[in-house]
Copies of this chain bind each other. A is one copy, B any other.
Amino acid sequence: MYSIGDVAEKMGISTSAIRFYDRKGLLPFVERDNAGRRKFKQNDLNFLEVINCLKKSGVPIKDIAHFIDLCMQGDGTLRERYDYLDHEEAALEQRIKKMKDQLDFLRFKKWYYKTSVEAGTEKIHFTPGTNVVNPGTKHQYQTALKNANDLYSLTNLNSKK
């Protein structure tokens, strides 16, 4: 049996967050002692692990509450719970894919600034006589990326600090 403080420390979240989750219906299984204090069982920590995972995956609290509600209803909702997790898995995979696209773009921009720093000026990427980035710049990067034998040195400056 763990107190709210024990759980907060174990899970790396604040006690006020735990109480907030309880209010929002995420912790209907938590029991109380005679004084009204929350007493967490070992199995409750398993639930908290799932809740934490879903939260970190970007699932809104009310959706998590729905899943917990299914869990409380017993074997009749097993298939529904499976489908729910299947759905969240696909959503998370999509989110990861989009993050990777952002990463690709960030690396393009790093290349842009790496080459600018090396040249001492951003002008090397401007259309001559303007302050406007050459429309072919991204394509130039993609070509360099295709031909690169060392991806790391394409976007990273050597000098430390």
Contacts and interface: CB of A to CB of B under 8 A. Distances in A.
B98 A102 contact: no
Nearest to A121: B75
Interface residues of A, number: 46
A53, A102, A107, A110, most chain B CB atoms within 10 A: A102
Q: Chain A at the B interface: mostly helix, strand, loop or mixed? A: helix
A109 interface: yes
A50 B109 contact: yes
A78 interface: yes
Interface of A: 41-43, 46, 49-50, 53, 56-57, 74-75, 78-79, 81-82, 85-86, 88-89, 92-93, 95-96, 98-100, 102-103, 105-107, 109-110, 113-114, 116-117, 120-123, 131-133, 156-157
